[in-house]
Chain A
Amino acid sequence: MSVLCEFSTRRLADTARAIRRRVIDVACASRCPHVGCALSCVDILTALYFDVLRLEPWEQRDIAILSKGHASLALCCTLAEREILSEEMLAGYFRDKGTLPAHLDRFSARGIEVSTGALGHGFNIGLGMAFGFKQQNSDRKVFCIIGDGESQEGSIWEGAMFGAKLRLGNFTAILDYNNLQGYGRPKDTCCFEPIADKWEAFGWQVVEVDGHDIMALTEALAMRPDNKPRMVIAHTIKGKGISFMEDRLQWHYYLVTEELKQKALQELA
């Protein structure tokens, strides 16, 4: 179990803030949407890439999959902060003749494990990888971030039913439950709740955490249960960290202007 001291917790919070500054910077420079979706999962990615994931040796690394691929900006900024992705690569995000598309292409850069963007894909690929590692008696683990809107995809529940049957204890899904999808709230869109009960009924070990409490996240993500796959429901806020973006539907698509960037960076100072 990973128990972080106060010092490293503060360091991780600083790291998350640095990643959010990058998100705002790149979003403004590239005029890309999905800024709110990216900001909600920054703390999750920070916990993964700066504490939970085993990244050395690279060939034996744990795998993190961003199944909600439209939040790629958060992943790319995290990879840059972790120095897996170069600054030059990041500067070419969503740019003409650039380096990184707005939805993930695994051939575009080291550290992008799976090509995602269409929802309900990365989750099932992750299950396959976890099964492969298990077959090879490898201790590599797979972590996969899905969105709440994404949870409406049928493929998620096909995989949910299957992952428990295969007893994939090396697989952890993280639900970035920011409570706002593209055009509404999950509970207003479908019969979303009780989401924890649903996963439990599908045979998963379910943990609920504050998705912006990095210490809680690292603990939830580090602990290994029995042979059950795990679902960490991370309660998050869309646009987290920027007051005028938080919990605002518009920030699924709104663009960061130069003026808004300055305001946002002041809040992240």
Chain B
Amino acid sequence: MRNTFANAVMEACDNRRDVFICSGDAGLGVFDDFQNTHSEHFLNMGVAEQNMIGFSAGLAMTGFKVFCYNIIPFVLYRCYEQVRNDICYQRLPVVLAGIGSGVAYAPAGMTHYSVEDIGIARTLPNLTVFSPIDPAEAACCAEYALDATEPVYVRLAKRGEPGIHKDEQIDITLPCILRTGREIAVITHGAIAAEVLAAADLLQEHNIYPRVISVTQIQPLNLQALQSALQGIRTVMSIEEHFVGSGLGSILAGAWAGQKNAPKLLMWGIPDAFIHAIRAGDRMREEFGLSAPQIADRIKMLVEKGDE
């Protein structure tokens, strides 16, 4: 994801003088050639995240489209007030390209996980938030961000995520039905979508067909389109590689609270606690019941339990 996103932005620099990339001392293997061939489009801002965001806001005020590239904690947490006041409050076209969503960097340790970023991003008015499921969507997010006149945050994983979309047209602003199904719908976002789809494959032998819906644009959330995608569904399970208390599931819970015809919602994700477990890469997901077989079991239980 990281590379397809960055490549799309770098390519745009060939035709646009106003595109500028600020990196927070990150990007080995991503900007190695670019920083030499396109030095007028790139700055390594060093290990100084507050300055990077404030500086990017100023650069945007002079007419540049600025991309801030770093791991998520360093584009959103360390410099939260700069994102809030300098970019979002001032409504500037700065793009926060955050990598390392969820526990993508396991076992790097809690400081390098991004399991609360959606919760933080949703506190920021004017910020459009995307959580792409695969490299093709990441490229679409880059295209959207290149044209955006307002702040954008893109939650990217790392590199090597499997492609989910084939050649079809992708509209990242709308919920996307990845698998049709009747009994239950699973709503997901980000790289964990691959596990959810693998779970759906496993469930086929049990004759269970969950409708799998990805929501890439999390903010502002197109609730109407999501409700259309949920037509005929009475039970929804949100599955995300994020703290369960502050992710997309919690946004849906808030949106549907008090709604008469709202579906029954079950939220699944990472418990709201600091992570001390040491598990490698995707295996960390097992720690939280987020591997494909565990997701399949959970859905199966839910379907077998019926509509209690």
Q: Are A126 and B48 touching (Cβ within 8 A)? A: no
Q: Are A121 and B54 touching (Cβ within 8 A)? A: yes
| Most chain B beta-carbon contacts within 10 A, residue among A106, A128, A155 | A128
Asked whether any CB of chain B lies closer than 8 Å to the CB of A115, the reply is yes
Segment of A24-32, A132-140, A202-210 in the binding face: A132-140
Chain B neighbourhood of A234, CB < 8 A: none
Give the complex CA separation of A62 and B61 in angstroms.
13
Chain B neighbourhood of A127, CB < 8 A: 51, 54-55, 58
Q: Are A132 and B51 touching (Cβ within 8 A)? A: no
- Secondary structure call for the A interface: helix
Q: Fill in one digit per residue for B2-43: 1 if any A CB lies within 8 Å of its CB, else 0.
A: 000000000000000000100000000000000000001000
In the complex with contacts A106-B90, A115-B90, A135-B40, A128-B58 CB distance below 8 A? yes
Q: Are A115 and B85 touching (Cβ within 8 A)? A: yes
Q: Fill in one digit per residue for B52-74: 1 if any A CB lies within 8 Å of its CB, else 0.
A: 01111111111110000000000
Name the interface residues of A104-134: CB closer than 8 Å to any CB of B. Answer: 105-107, 114-118, 120-121, 123-133
Name the interface residues of B70-107: CB closer than 8 Å to any CB of A. Answer: 81-82, 85-86, 89-91
Chain A neighbourhood of B62, CB < 8 A: 128-129, 132-133, 135-136
The residue in chain B whose Cβ has the minimal distance to the Cβ of A103 is B85
Q: Are A124 and B50 touching (Cβ within 8 A)? A: yes
Q: Are B48 and A158 touching (Cβ within 8 A)? A: yes
Q: Are B50 and A129 touching (Cβ within 8 A)? A: no
Chain A neighbourhood of B53, CB < 8 A: 124
The count of chain B contact residues (Cβ–Cβ below 8 Å) is 26
Asked whether any CB of chain A lies closer than 8 Å to the CB of B46, the reply is yes
The residue in chain A whose Cβ has the minimal distance to the Cβ of B82 is A121
The residue in chain B whose Cβ has the minimal distance to the Cβ of A130 is B58
Q: Are B85 and A118 touching (Cβ within 8 A)? A: yes
Give the shortest distance, in Å, between B303 (CB) and chain A (any CB). 50
Chain A neighbourhood of B82, CB < 8 A: 121, 124, 155
The residue in chain A whose Cβ has the minimal distance to the Cβ of B66 is A128
Give the shortest distance, in Å, between B95 (CB) and chain A (any CB). 15
In the complex with contacts A131-B59, A135-B40, A136-B63, A124-B85 CB distance below 8 A? no
Choose from B40, B46, B48, B59 the contact partner of A129 (Cβ within 8 Å): B59
Give the complex CA separation of A26 and B83 in angstroms.
32
The residue in chain A whose Cβ has the minimal distance to the Cβ of B45 is A162
Asked whether any CB of chain B lies closer than 8 Å to the CB of A154, the reply is yes
Give the complex CA separation of A105 and B85 in angstroms.
10
In the complex with contacts A114-B90, A132-B63, A154-B50, A159-B85 CB distance below 8 A? no
Give the shortest distance, in Å, between B279 (CB) and chain A (any CB). 34
Give the complex CA separation of A123 and B81 in angstroms.
14
Q: Are A128 and B55 touching (Cβ within 8 A)? A: yes
| Most chain B beta-carbon contacts within 10 A, residue among A120, A125, A158, A162 | A125
Chain A neighbourhood of B55, CB < 8 A: 124-125, 127-128, 131, 159, 162
Asked whether any CB of chain B lies closer than 8 Å to the CB of A196, the reply is no
Chain A neighbourhood of B89, CB < 8 A: 105, 115
Asked whether any CB of chain B lies closer than 8 Å to the CB of A13, the reply is no
Chain A neighbourhood of B40, CB < 8 A: 135
Residues of A within 8 A of B (CB): 105-107, 114-118, 120-121, 123-133, 135-136, 154-155, 158-159, 161-162
A131-B55, A158-B50 given; name 9 further pairs at CB < 8 Å.
A115-B85, A118-B81, A121-B54, A121-B82, A124-B51, A128-B58, A129-B58, A131-B58, A132-B63
A-B contact pairs, 9 of them (CB 8 A): A121-B85, A123-B54, A124-B82, A127-B58, A129-B62, A135-B20, A155-B50, A155-B54, A162-B48
